[in-house]
Amino acid sequence: MRCSFVFGTASAKKVEVIWPMRLTILGSGTNVHPTRAASGYLVRTDHTMLLDFGPRTLTNLLKTGVNRHRITHFLFSHYHADHFSDFITYFFDAMIFTKYEGGTRPPLTVIGPRGTRKFFRTLFATLPGFTQAPFAVHFKEVADRAFMIGKTTVIPRTVTHTENLHCLGYRIEYGGKALAYSGDSQYCDNLVRLCGDTDLALLDCSFPASRPNPVHLHAGQCGQVAREAGVGQLVLSHFYPITDRYNVREQAGEAFGGKIVVGQDLMTIKL
């Protein structure tokens, strides 16, 4: 007869906290940056999804330990290369994995702004082999209407970036928590609305307040958006190299009294 004894009481057991949402910054920099990868964020709810997929973020994705072949949804804010280019490397790898290495993967869904289908049609027709992937690939163009990924609600909203680009910010809600991602954005009402009462706002902080740029937020404006939207915490990201020389936390803090996090690659924030 085999006996087992359990010592201790129920109250001594470690209580496991379930976090509905986890955000991992894969890249907090921009296109060419000496120490930071470009834009890319891993969001884990009941699904694992990527928000943008810029250069060097794939290397950081490997470091998270997440199985890249199980990721199903890729959400793009716009197609500036600093938000997109590692998708090409990722997709080529997925084809080799499924064609030659005996691997399988679930269908892959690409979600993005107006023009997404045309963009990928051209890209896939041009890159050798990309139209012959042995797994399903879906493309979905979204505008300002909410949709579901499993039990996760995604609300895209058009933000103002450059004159001739359609750029989306995304709000993601799951398990009573909400985060908003600005994509690349200037200060605009839609961005404040997107971030309204979220637990976390992840904002384009390309430049310091003293070196503003017309198509991006600067640190002071990030603080302003966070205050006006009443967010729980502000995460600053998408830093150009010059921005690392300034105290962006202090600059954002002049407008926003809540928690401010200066983004770093591979930082995970649990909600």
Cβ–Cβ under 8 Å, residues 203 and 225: yes
| 86 contacts Zn ion (rule: CB under 5 A) | no
Any bridge partners for residue 201, and if so which?
180, 234
Query: Least Å distance between CB 46 and Zn ion?
Result: 28
Q: Give the nearer residue to Zn ion in terms of CB position, either 161 or 171.
A: 161
| 173 contacts Zn ion (rule: CB under 5 A) | no
Cβ–Cβ under 8 Å, residues 40 and 51: yes
CA 13 to chain centre: 35
Judged by CB under 5 A, which stretch of 72-80, 89-97, 133-141, 247-255 contacts Zn ion?
72-80
Phi, psi of 139 (to 5 degrees): -120, 135
Query: Least Å distance between CB 139 and Zn ion?
Result: 20
Distance separating alpha carbons of residues 264 and 37, to the nearest angstrom: 9
| 80 contacts Zn ion (rule: CB under 5 A) | yes
The footprint of Zn ion on residues 124-143 (CB under 5 A) is none
CA-wise closest residue to 124 among 76, 79, 92, 86: 92
CA-wise closest residue to 255 among 213, 215, 224, 222: 224
| 184 contacts Zn ion (rule: CB under 5 A) | yes
| 82 contacts Zn ion (rule: CB under 5 A) | yes
Query: Least Å distance between CB 85 and Zn ion?
Result: 11
The footprint of Zn ion on residues 246-265 (CB under 5 A) is none
Judged by CB under 5 A, which stretch of 14-22, 63-71, 141-149, 180-188 contacts Zn ion?
180-188
